[in-house]
Amino acid sequence: MSRRSRDRVTIDLCGIGDAARAAAQASDATLAVFARQALIAALPSDVRASLPQVEPRGEVGGTIKLSVRLSPDDSAALATQAAMLGLSQARLVALLIRRVELPRRSIERDADRAALRASTEQLATLSVDLQQFLRLLRRGSAEGVARYAERLQAVDVDLRTHLCRASAFLADGYRGTSP
């Protein structure tokens, strides 16, 4: 008789069904998985040692296809959360499994990107002002220098603010991207 990869058994639980279902639910497992684990635990240790180890089969790219059954509400929640974060559903699940800090919502990242662009434009304007200030200094024009002096006193604060924005934006972009 050839050995099949999946054997099916119907078990008469003789009144322990409710307790078995409750224990399975407490273990966050289906009744079938719970029963399988109980059967494996009941096997003699030498037989357990000879059981085949089940490893997921990977595809060429090093990924493994996983099918998950979700309620319609959970499926909608997964799709919504992934979309809000700008991630695929698979990427979101992978990050959750790794317990990696999730990136911020894409709308928040878009706002940060816009703030960074505005800050970069301010720095470009500041660069032009600085070049003009240096030209006036070389010419010895005290009147022209005074116009730019106040603006250039805030250069340090502007640069630090811009660098903080840029580093936070880049750090957020890299969060959760490692395999």
User: What is the per-residue pLDDT across 92-136, written as a single tens digit (0 to 9) for each?
Assistant: 898 888 888 777 676 767 777 788 888 888 888 877 878 877 777
140: three-class secondary structure by DSSP = coil
Residue 60 domain flag: no
Separation in Å, CA 137 to CA 89, 105, 158: 58, 47, 22
* Res 179: pLDDT: 39
Domain assignment of residue 125, given as a range = 106-174
Angle made by CA atoms 14, 8, 71, in degrees to the nearest 5: 85
Same domain, 96 and 136: no
Residue 24 domain flag: yes
Residue 96 domain flag: yes
179 or 29, higher pLDDT: 29
* Res 22: pLDDT: 92
pLDDT band at 71 (very low <50, low <70, confident <90, very high): very high
Same domain, 114 and 170: yes
| Residue where a domain stops, chosen among 78, 103, 128 | 103
Same domain, 78 and 130: no
Start-end of H helices in the chain: 17-26, 31-42, 45-49, 72-85, 89-98, 106-139, 142-153, 155-174
Residue 179 domain flag: no
Burial of 115: CB neighbours in 10 Å, binned 0-12, 13-18, 19+: middle
pTM of the model: 0.37
Same domain, 121 and 158: yes
Same domain, 15 and 46: yes
pLDDT band at 55 (very low <50, low <70, confident <90, very high): low
* Res 176: pLDDT: 45
Both tokens assigned to 59: 């595809």
Residue 120 domain flag: yes
* Domains of the chain: total: 3
Same domain, 88 and 136: no
Residue 38 domain flag: yes
Residue 152 domain flag: yes
